[in-house]
A = this chain, B = another copy of it.
């Protein structure tokens, strides 16, 4: 089997820096985790807050701390640092090879979609951002690491795409349409979903947008682990998106 994890990420139109921070880390007992932090607003100060939270979570996960405990710790840490004046939406998506499960940890009201055996489930339970108050808990969903499982999550910039123009995305049917294609890769789904959101915002994204897709594929191509990063940048300035 093979785990495919893909990310596509774009900065708000006119903003110098994305307020979304995303990092991946290998789990010490096997597997991979993806941590996504979305600070309220865009730009350098938002980036600094989301990146502080994501770094704390990554560091705890790589020490073997469980996802739920890492989210709580990051919340307390942000609350202690900023006294409740800053909050960050946080998602942790882990493929844990030790427990053979996928663990989805949400401190983010934006829904997460899970497709297993031709059925798409939408997790959209109440969920609070980290750092706003004491005793914040993540909402955690754990499912078996079965082949043909797909998890899709995104930041609120994607959810609200097109809102200015009176349009919205029907995520469930859109994701179903992508999955109906011939063995779509995780990267294909992430790219397609982000492109769709960008089109609705007329290619001038109204907020930072990030899409994360994880797929469990029945048959691995080979026994090789792969990792690819593509980072567009401008040579004139330190602007990056």
Contact = CB atoms under 8 A, between A and B. Distances in A.
Interface of A: 1-11, 21-26, 28-32, 51, 55, 58-59, 62-63, 95, 97-98, 100, 145, 186-187, 190-191, 194, 220-235, 238, 240-241
Contacts of A31: 231, 233, 240
A186 to B, nearest CB: 7
A171 B231 CA distance: 27
A3 B229 contact: yes
B224 A232 contact: yes
A98 B235 CA distance: 10
B1 A234 contact: yes
B8 A28 contact: no
Contacts of A22: 227
14 contacts: A1-B235, A2-B233, A3-B231, A4-B231, A5-B227, A6-B229, A31-B240, A51-B62, A98-B238, A187-B226, A220-B230, A221-B230, A226-B228, A226-B230
A6 B228 CA distance: 4
Nearest to A9: B225
A8 B6 CA distance: 16
A241 B228 contact: no
B231 A225 contact: yes
Contacts of A6: 226-229
Contacts of A95: 231
A86 B8 CA distance: 39
Given A10-B225, A225-B8, A32 B231 contact: yes
Given A10-B224, A55-B62, A29 B230 contact: no
Nearest to A235: B1
Contacts of A187: 226, 228
A223 B44 CA distance: 18
Given A59-B59, A97-B233, A98-B238, A226 B4 contact: no
A194 B12 CA distance: 38
Contact of A227 (B98, B224, B229): B229
A209 to B, nearest CB: 9
B21 A23 contact: no
Given A10-B223, A10-B224, A230 B4 contact: yes
